[in-house]
Chains A and B, each alone.
Chain A
Amino acid sequence: MNTAAVDGKKGRLEQAWEAAVGLVVGLRSTLRTMLEPKVTVIYPLQKVNVSNRWHGLLALPIDPETDNDKCIICFQCERVCPDRCIHIEATGKGKERVLTRFDIEMDKCCYCGLCVEVCPTEAIVFVPHYEASTYNRANLLYNLDDLHRAAPKEPIATGVVKVQGQIGSGG
């Protein structure tokens, strides 16, 4: 492509010719892009497939065999969290420990995945939900029931609920 600098010494005709060529080249580029397939995702009618490693919301899914979560109350996730947003309390001793409180402050969480990494039983995992916006900040404190449900606490906006198709690109 002609990349000569505009140095003012060219004649008017040459400058006009260069401007016309530049215009044609630019328009050609525009037309070519116009005829290419579109990359826009018409969210919320179409959604992008998130990869299966995506750091979405955290959850303690219920294991169908034991009908409870897999947490052994080892406190490793609470210790490794850089933002100190996991709060665990348990009563009892040894193997008889019972979980009384498992809160995760989703508004502080930075979704780094260190808690998922250190959990010895894979009790705490990422779920691919990411639509968790809310009007009220208190709704971002997820307690044990919310974590068992593995879904955002607040209902998703109505425009999103009717999804027509998925577009694959992640995962």
Chain B
Amino acid sequence: MALRTEELILNMGPQHPSTHGVLRLIVTLDGENIVDAQPDIGYLHSSVEKMMEARTYLQNIALVDRGMDYLTAMANEEVWVLAVERLARIEVPERARYIRTIMLELQRISSHLIWWGTFGIDLGAFTAFLWAMRERERIMDLFEASTGGRLHHVYFRIGGVYEDVPDGWPDRVAEFCDYFLQRFPEYDELITGNPIFQARTRGVGVLPLEKAVAMGASGPVARASGLAYDVRKAHPYEVYDRVQFDIPVRSAGDCFARYEVRMEEMRQSVRIIRQCLEHLPQGEIRSKVQVNVKIPAGEVYARTESPRGDLGIYLVSDGSEKPYRVKIRAPAFSNLYALTEMMKGWKVADVIAILGSIDIVLSDVDR
């Protein structure tokens, strides 16, 4: 007599210590093997795109850095400000561009640190979380000294940045870069080389290159599968065309490849920051733009490389002081879609490793 088996539907509910935010995963299991994993999103939908239509371009800077991906507030401000500046053909002074690039790379490091810490703690390495937060506090002190906010900055303006960095700030950033690079061998010792960590992430959750491209994955998720595409190299903005840096690409497509790509990206970010500090020019930091500026009618698509992937804003303006329509292309949304492919065939204990390795932020997915 054949043994009758049934598939079990497991609900990893919106409140879960390891889902990064309020994500609900409906996992269909056959024993311990995952047959299907459907994400149920919308638990953090904040109607940001609709709210942006009721606020002026300046007020939207305050909304865009908390309503979208909150771990990289200035990357969101950057893509918004870039879209408006391109549509209105507003020039940005050189010093402001260098400062913006430094801020963006510091945000990249701090976002990858949170990813590293939470990935570690999901897999059981509590120390990774504490160390990441310790490093992150230093970056937040740097942000607080110049922008006034630890997590939400409202620092970029249309035409530049709000105010110049205080005296001594570039030296503090250089000091931080030296301190941070010293820490990498420790991270490798403790986490990267750990046999348990390797066993849980090597070969797990493979995303083949064709699937990555077909599902619109971008950022480290796509680069770990072999797609050598980075918006900073393909469509350079700010001063990325003037600094030397490499983009790490791996071909394995598993969790460990995504891990390696992000660790390498942090090193490259330090390299970019050091070059920007070296060539930081003196001068203006803001072009004169009215408070309630009226942007000429038209449409524009601006894209940047946020730590999650390819972040874009499609802006339609009707000539008034408020945008007519804003559409946000969120990288975590497409990366989460790629999750459904990555999970099939693995065991239920790998769900957390795979979910942690794609680095989603639910605020970016749901907006």
Contacts and interface: CB of A to CB of B under 8 A. Distances in A.
Interface of A: 1-3, 5-6, 18-19, 22, 25-26, 29-30, 39, 50-51, 53-55, 76, 80-82, 110-114, 117-118, 126, 169-171
B137 interface: yes
Interface of B is mostly: helix
A118 to B, nearest CB: 6
Nearest to A118: B291
A46 to B, nearest CB: 14
Interface residues of B, number: 35
Given A1-B193, A19-B195, A80-B58, A53 B154 contact: no
Query: Which of B152, B166, B195 has its CB near the most chain A CB atoms (within 10 A)?
Result: B195
Interface stretch (B105-113, B184-192, B306-314): B184-192
B1 interface: no
B190 A26 contact: yes
Contact of A53 (B60, B145, B152, B186): B145
Given A1-B193, A29-B189, A169-B141, A82 B148 contact: no
Which secondary structure dominates where chain A touches chain B?
loop
A54 B144 contact: yes
Contact of B152 (A1, A81, A110): A110
Contacts of A1: 188-189, 192-193
Interface string B135-147: 0010001001111
B193 A114 contact: no
A145 to B, nearest CB: 26
Contact of A80 (B194, B198, B291): B291
B337 interface: no
B240 interface: no
B293 to A, nearest CB: 12
The 6 residue pairs across chains A and B that have the minimum distance between CB atoms = A112-B62, A82-B59, A1-B193, A53-B148, A112-B154, A51-B145
A29 B188 CA distance: 11
A6 B198 CA distance: 8
Contacts of B127: 30
Contacts of A112: 61-62, 152, 154
Contacts of B62: 82, 110, 112, 114
B179 to A, nearest CB: 12
A39 B137 contact: yes
Interface string B42-83: 000000000000010011111100100000000000000000
Interface of B: 55, 58-63, 66, 127, 134, 137, 141, 144-149, 152, 154, 162, 166, 186, 188-190, 192-195, 198-199, 202-203, 291
A110 B66 contact: yes
A55 B148 contact: yes
Contacts of A5: 198-199, 202-203
A166 to B, nearest CB: 14
B154 A29 contact: no
A53 B203 CA distance: 47
Contacts of B193: 1-3, 22, 25
Given A22-B195, A118-B291, A126-B148, A170 B141 contact: yes
Contacts of B162: 113, 117
Contact of B144 (A26, A80, A118, A170): A170
Nearest to B51: A82
A53 B43 CA distance: 34
B47 to A, nearest CB: 14
A1 B198 CA distance: 13
A6 B199 CA distance: 6
Interface centre among A18, A19, A22 (most CB of B within 10 A): A22
Nearest to A1: B193
A81 B137 CA distance: 29
A77 to B, nearest CB: 11
B46 to A, nearest CB: 13
Given A3-B192, A113-B162, 8 more contacts: A6-B195, A6-B199, A26-B190, A51-B148, A110-B62, A110-B152, A112-B154, A170-B144
A53 B137 contact: no
Given A22-B195, A25-B189, A112-B154, A55 B149 contact: yes
Nearest to B65: A112
Contacts of B154: 112-114
